[in-house]
A and B are shown apart, each in its own frame.
Chain A
Amino acid sequence: MPVIVMASPKGGVGKSTCAVLLASEFARMGAQVTVLDCDPNRSLTRWASHGLPKGVTLYSDVGRSEIVPTIRSADGDGKIVIVDLEGVASQMVSRAISQADLVIVPMQATALDAEIGSEALALVKEEEEALGRSIRHSVILTKTSAAMKSRVQKELEGQLRGAGIDMIEPSLVARAAFSEIFAYGGDLTAMMKDPEMVTGGKVDKAVANAQAFTEAVYERLK
């Protein structure tokens, strides 16, 4: 089963959010999901400390020397492996990319995110050449506006598409539930059903967005 790697040398772009949403949605579909938390900030471990969705297993504190063997041991029949990496340019990032079936590069619609995120895209291309095999990779825009597409976002999308970069649609909209899932643990569906879980936004819209994002990722893994 596939290995999905979240990669960007920039922090705060939404790698952990993408990892949590994919892990919980694929688990809801019936997959056994293994999530590797390779980020020293331990965002996924904090999320898991409040409760993991059924079907999700988490490995914390995976380091540079363990990343390849851990991915290999976690990879198996009926399992999806999701790797959340640190937001720096490190050897662990390049090693994880080499094991990926799909590299997802999240970025906000800003020039800075695009510039730093493009380092990860360039690294994927170079690893493809060095290893002699293709590594599928896509960009997902994160924290976008629910109301309208900004001029900067339109320009950035045009530039990335013009460079032949695969863009995942829909983008991940800035939703309070995407941030608050780290405080509550579990998944968005549980958050929507539990009246005691208070979020500052519309959870149903967040669920729909996460499901459409997971569907788009699924299409790329077939």
Chain B
Amino acid sequence: MSGSNRLAGLKARPKDTTVEEVRRVDEVGEARGFVDRTPRKKPGRKPSPRTHQLHPKVFPRVGEAIAAEAERLGITQGQLIELLWEHYTSE
């Protein structure tokens, strides 16, 4: 068996692939147990990139001061530490 001329005789039958036809095919399949098995994405909000746990062992007075300053600036403690780190590395 060789030669592409043999293959030239092969024909595809016309197939209408309207939305209605796909819906009918889905219905027929579902009735026989051929259901949508696409893996579901994990529900809920995606995690923030700010998820790294900083070392929690600081003196209470330092922790309280950071919390108070963050509240005064209207940012989170993590954002304040990021600002401090930026300042520290720029020196």
**Pair B6/A29 contact, Cβ less than 8 Å:** yes
Q: Give the distance in Å from the alpha carbon of A74 to the alpha carbon of B35 in the complex.
A: 25
**Pair A89/B35 contact, Cβ less than 8 Å:** yes
Asked, given contacts A31-B7, A63-B38, whether A130 binds B24 with beta carbons under 8 Å apart, the answer is yes
Asked, given contacts A29-B1, A30-B7, A131-B25, whether A91 binds B12 with beta carbons under 8 Å apart, the answer is no
**Pair B28/A130 contact, Cβ less than 8 Å:** yes
**Pair B29/A123 contact, Cβ less than 8 Å:** yes
**Pair A94/B28 contact, Cβ less than 8 Å:** yes
A59: interface (CB < 8 Å):
no
B5 closest partner in A (C-beta): A30
B13 closest partner in A (C-beta): A101
Q: Give the distance in Å from the alpha carbon of A99 to the alpha carbon of B22 in the complex.
A: 10
**Pair B1/A30 contact, Cβ less than 8 Å:** no
**Pair B4/A123 contact, Cβ less than 8 Å:** no
A126 closest partner in B (C-beta): B28
**Pair B12/A31 contact, Cβ less than 8 Å:** no
**Pair A98/B25 contact, Cβ less than 8 Å:** yes
**Pair A123/B10 contact, Cβ less than 8 Å:** no
Asked, given contacts A90-B37, A222-B9, whether A122 binds B22 with beta carbons under 8 Å apart, the answer is no
B27 to chain A, nearest CB (A): 8
**Pair A94/B7 contact, Cβ less than 8 Å:** no
A192: interface (CB < 8 Å):
no
**Pair B17/A99 contact, Cβ less than 8 Å:** yes
Q: Give the distance in Å from the alpha carbon of A80 to the alpha carbon of B4 in the complex.
A: 12
Q: Which of B1-53 contact A (CB under 8 A)?
A: 1-4, 6-13, 15, 17, 21-22, 24-38
Q: Give the distance in Å from the alpha carbon of A91 to the alpha carbon of B33 in the complex.
A: 9
A68: interface (CB < 8 Å):
yes
Q: Which residues of B contact A89 (CB under 8 A)?
A: 32-35
Q: Which residues of A contact B17 (CB under 8 A)?
A: 68, 72, 98-99
Name the 3 nearest CB pairs between A and B, nearest first. A94-B29, A30-B4, A90-B37
Q: A78-B4, A94-B26 known; 10 other A-B pairs, CB under 8 Å?
A: A29-B7, A30-B3, A72-B17, A78-B8, A80-B7, A98-B17, A99-B15, A122-B32, A123-B32, A131-B24
B residues adjacent to A (C-beta < 8 A): 1-4, 6-13, 15, 17, 21-22, 24-38
Sample of 12 A–B contacts (CB below 8 Å): A30-B7, A89-B35, A90-B34, A92-B37, A94-B32, A97-B25, A98-B21, A123-B34, A126-B32, A211-B1, A218-B1, A218-B6
